[in-house]
Amino acid sequence: SAAMELEASGAVGGRVAALATGYLGYRRGGPGRGLELRSLRRARRQDVCDVGHKYYLELELQDIQDKDSTISCTAEVLYHLGTKSLAPDVQVTLQGELREAEEEEKEFYNRIRSLDKELVAENIPDSHGHVPPEMEPIFLLARAASGYVIWQNSTENTKFQLAQIKEVKQVKRSDEYLEFDYMILLHEMVSQEIIPWQMRVLWHPQHGVQVTQDKRQPKHPSG
């Protein structure tokens, strides 16, 4: 049976909200669209016996490219008890429409397809926070894909954000998909660790984002 619902603390609520946002970014984000958390309105927690902790969230998200956008949504997140290898169950329900990103995505797709050489880039953003305009879709794609890694690796005691793309290399393909090999840095807020992570990302305008392979990398000891 389910225990009664309690209001979750701001600290924990923030972590659950970050997970839900990452998950939604993976499902609905792409080179033309990035989503971020605008505010957490409410977070309630329910202990489900022998299963885990379930959170009910009321969130406001915003489209990165539209500062004034407000997208209300609700999310249910279940963190499984004990088993460290089970990713949390996440369900997000949008109460509204997301901005159309078809034009930008088509443009990005055509641009990359017409490159003479495979795309290679590093340090996005750079030390001064600068992202060259032509790299913005590569940055947004990394955000969306990192949402998958964040979803798969989150617990109630972690809060992940994409800190930087260290390196990205386009992978040549014979079909219509675009593929990129990313080395990203994730920032985990509670431990404050910077975690290098490698991920293979597949994308197509009609088929969305897919992380086909990912691997945590070792940290360098002295920096």
Partner 1 sequence: DQVLRIVANSEEQINLLRALEKQMEKKVDFWHHPSRPGHPADLQVSSSSLQDVKIFLEFHNISYSIMIKDVQELLDEEKENMTKSRRMERSTSTFDFASYHTLEEIYHWMDTLVRDHPNLVSKIQIGQSYEKRPLYVLKFSTGGTNRSAIWMDTGIHAREWITQATGVWTANKLAEEYGHDPSVTSILDSMDIFLEIIANPDGFAFTHRCNRLWRKTRSLNVESDCVGVDPNRNWNVGFGGSGSSSEPCSETYRGPYPHSESEVKAIVDFICGHGHVKSVISIHSYSQMLLFPYGYKRSPAAHHQELNELAKKAVSDMAAVYGTKYIYGSIADTIYVADGTTIDWAYDHGVKFSFTLELRDKGRYGFLLPSSQIIPTATETWPALVDIMVHVLENPY
Q: Which residues of this protein are in contact with partner 1, per CB under 8 A?
A: 9-11, 14, 18, 34, 36-37, 39, 64, 125-131, 161-164, 185, 187, 189-194, 219, 221-223
CB nearer to partner 1: give 82 or 223.
223
Question: Could you give the CA distance from residue 132 to residue 81 in angstroms, rounded to a whole number?
Answer: 43
CB nearer to partner 1: give 25 or 88.
25
Dihedral angle sign, alpha carbons of residues 178, 34, 25, 124: positive
Q: Long-range contacts for 154-157 (Cβ within 8 Å, ≥24 apart)?
A: 154/15, 154/18, 154/19, 154/22, 154/87, 154/88, 155/79, 155/84, 155/88, 156/12, 156/15, 156/16, 156/53, 156/79, 157/15, 157/190
CB nearer to partner 1: give 35 or 209.
35
CB nearer to partner 1: give 121 or 131.
131
Shortest distance (Å) from residue 188 CB to partner 1: 9
Shortest distance (Å) from residue 125 CB to partner 1: 5
Shortest distance (Å) from residue 197 CB to partner 1: 14
**Alpha-carbon separation of residue 117 from 105, 110, 137, 138, 141 (angstroms):** 20, 14, 18, 16, 20
* Residue pair 40/59 in contact by the 8 Å Cβ criterion: yes
Shortest distance (Å) from residue 137 CB to partner 1: 15
Shortest distance (Å) from residue 17 CB to partner 1: 10
CB nearer to partner 1: give 130 or 207.
130
- First-to-last C-alpha distance (Å) of the chain: 49
